[in-house]
Structure 1
Amino acid sequence: MGKIPAKKICVIRTSALGDVVHAMALMGALRHGYPDAEITWVVQPLAYEMVKHQGAADHYVLFDRKGGRKHWQALRKRFKGEVYDVVLMLQVSIKASAISTLITGRIKLGFDMARSRECQWLFSNRRIPKKTPGHVQDQFFEFADYLGVTDYPVAWNFGFTEGEVAERSAFFDGLGAPAVTFVVASSSPDKDWPADRYARAVDHVARKGLVPVLTGGPSPREKALADEISRLSQEKPVVALKNGIRDLLVVLSGSTVVVSPDTGPLHMAVALNVPTVSLFGYSNPRRCGPYRRFQELLIDRFTESGEENEARRYFKTGRMEYISVSDVTEKIDLALERYAFL
């Protein structure tokens, strides 16, 4: 089958940050396959800040998931009179499906029945073929494959501005030594690594003559964890919790090594090609682990010894505790040995 013709394409993937990172690679594939098409992306404001300089989309429509009736009326008005050749429904949530009802598309492409949670199949008129689930990134690429887009580069482009490049240089030059950056928390405590173990890994990094940096967002929980890690550390880390997602990208992009649980900044760091020690116990790394890169730095305490782990979406509570300090420090040392001079 040849490539499906399309002059106007709309992509619905509003959140979460890690999934939006994966969507960025698909957007690059779409731009490769349809260089002259008009591409619109429906995305939440926080994620928009991350992707706005990528250059793959022509238009961004911001979706506020907490928006009331006026916001939905504005969305309806925005899409009134627009007709898209293809609408890609990358998000299986009832709100994302509701957005699709406001958009006129000749082809509304969603997931196959088995993967269409929250009744997404009711809102699409075509579906990607049934397939054993793989990594989320590969599942997104199935949409490009369905359209007949081939030979696309697997790439992410966050598009740093001159100001951001200068900000990165100033921050890291001021540290006086290479930085190992620890992402202190995820969206769920079940995915987080204990603060006292972070503190011991921080001390390990400092003893090697490197600068430990704690990063994440501005939430009270992240601030409390950063404070606790700092209190428990003998060598005090640099705390760089960021209000803006672009500022967080700046910190991640200038790090020598990143250590992170399963959260958006992990996927940002991997996409930025920064050596990343990935901590997995609660979520399935076959489905949402680091994509293709730095597999030797993955710590997998989700998969039992001898278990045939398919890339299914399910969770195991209490398993982040199985990740020891030595597990992490050994991976940090391996990352420094293999990648420090990249």
Structure 2
Amino acid sequence: MSKKWKIKLTDWFLRRYTARFGRLQDKSTFDGNMHFDNIVIYSTTALGDFMFNTPALRAVRERYPDAHITLVVHKKNQELVENGRYYDRVVYWNSKVKTMGELVKSLRQHQPDLALILHSHLPYDIISAVMAGAKYIIRDNYSSGISGLEAWLTNYIFHYYGHFVRRKLELISILGCRSDDPRMEVPVPYQPGIKSTEHISVGFQLGASSESRCWPVSHYAKLANMLVAQYPQVRIVLIGGGSSEVEKAAQFLQQIDPSTAACVDNQVGKTGLQALITLIDSFHVLVTGDTGPLHVAVALQVKTISLFVTADSRSTGPIQDNELHRIIQVSRTGYTMDLEKESPMGVIQPQRIYDEVVDHLGLNK
């Protein structure tokens, strides 16, 4: 079914459902001074998206310290949310229509007065919020428009140019939440990492959500060879989790020099989220594209060198502790395809990142 028809069908269903059962209130009745006893917050997408949402989670809890807050997330982020400090309960949902009934049943155990959709999948998030009994729904739309469903939202944002974190805070400012604290954080207890005093630990995140955001494996291999050849105390740690990243790690190991291989620790596919957090916390610096581990490192105040070509660092780059983060933003304009055989990110050459690593860690002093 096309998105257009899916939205039309959703609107048709909601009109009939709310006429009989819904508690949804007209947006004109909303007042930012209202007290909400039960709140549900949706953040059902990727790791990086969840990290962007942590300042908003904190702000909502500060605004409603006594409310019962339910967090809806994907099961893959379980280790990042269990026993978190800004919500009372976690419900797992894969954003599929066939599991929506189970979600609604669970949400009705603490029937929400307010649904805050920070990042989820249209239209099932809105449907589930209405069916759970939400009186008001606030949603970050992440697009130019969702024509046909605006009537079901109390507040939403379109065409916001700026960092995603600040967009979330702007979205919830209608509730009277503070919007001046964009610091991301890991919202659950974790085992801190220990930085070695004998070696310099340089993390490489080889993968990303799309190939267009991945720095070429061949460039990572050249960077590793350059670093180890000049600084024998460097240890390269590979991180990642998906099958494509396992394949990239294998390619990396095939392309590096034998002398470099002895200084590489391949952790791809070997860590859950909790172990990944501890591992990243032990890095002296992380080299990465625009992906979840970058935002974890930013939250942990670990130095990063982040690479942007197809993404815009003004929207998704590091937003705090600027002195810890080097952002490489390059336009593709004027570059040839020879520089992009593996990925558009190939326009950023290994020598540039080598120089950044050396300078950022003070290795040339």
TM-score of Structure 1 vs Structure 2, range by shorter chain: 0.7 to 0.9
Q: Distance in 2 between matches of 1:267 and 1:80?
A: 33
Aligned to 2:359: 334
What amino acid is the match of 1:184? Answer: L
Q: 1:6 aligns with which of 36, 48, 54?
A: 36
Aligned to 2:168: 140
Q: TM-score, normalised by structure 2?
A: 0.78
Aligned to 1:240: 267
What amino acid is the match of 1:73? Answer: G
Query: What does residue range 228-267 of structure 1 map to in structure 2 within 5 Å?
Result: 228-234=251-257, 235-236=260-261, 237-241=264-268, 242-267=270-295
Structure whose CA Rg is larger: 2
What amino acid is the match of 1:239? Answer: N
Q: Distance in 2 between matches of 1:184 and 1:147?
A: 39
Instruction: Please tell me whether residue 227 in structure 1 is matched to residue 250 in structure 2.
Output: yes
Instruction: Please tell me whether residue 211 in structure 1 is matched to residue 220 in structure 2.
Output: no
Q: 1:61 aligns with which of 70, 91, 110?
A: 91
**Structure 1 pair 130/321, CA: closer, same or farther in 2 (3 Å)?**
closer
Counterpart contact for 2:182–2:320, Cα < 8 Å: no
Instruction: Please tell me whether residue 77 in structure 1 is matched to residue 105 in structure 2.
Output: yes
Q: Distance in 2 between matches of 1:130 and 1:226?
A: 39
Aligned to 2:52: 22
Aligned length: 317
CA displacement, residues 181-209 of structure 1 (integer Å, 9 cap, x when unaligned) = 01011121111111111011112332322
Q: State the Cα distance separating 1:286 from its structure 2 match.
A: 1.6
CA displacement, residues 224-271 of structure 1 (integer Å, 9 cap, x when unaligned) = 111211222221111111341212111111111001111111111111
**Structure 1 pair 36/334, CA: closer, same or farther in 2 (3 Å)?**
farther
Q: State the Cα distance separating 1:114 from its structure 2 match.
A: 6.9
Aligned to 2:337: none
Q: TM-score, normalised by structure 1?
A: 0.82
Q: Distance in 1 between matches of 2:60 and 2:45?
A: 19
Counterpart contact for 1:299–1:327, Cα < 8 Å: no
Instruction: Please tell me whether residue 198 in structure 1 is matched to residue 223 in structure 2.
Output: no
Aligned to 2:19: none
What residue ranges of structure 1 are gaps of 5+ in the alignment?
306-316
Q: State the Cα distance separating 1:154 from its structure 2 match.
A: 3.8
Counterpart contact for 1:93–1:118, Cα < 8 Å: no
Instruction: Give the secondary structure class of the aligned counterpart of 1:214.
Output: strand
Q: State the Cα distance separating 1:151 from its structure 2 match.
A: 6.8
Q: Percent identity?
A: 23
Counterpart contact for 2:219–2:346, Cα < 8 Å: no
Counterpart contact for 1:32–1:152, Cα < 8 Å: no
What amino acid is the match of 1:238? Answer: D
Counterpart contact for 2:95–2:120, Cα < 8 Å: no
Query: What does residue range 120-199 of structure 1 map to in structure 2 within 5 Å?
Result: 121-124=150-153, 126-128=154-156, 132-150=160-178, 153-155=181-183, 156-161=185-190, 164-165=191-192, 168-169=193-194, 176-199=198-221
What residue ranges of structure 2 are gaps of 5+ in the alignment?
1-30, 335-341
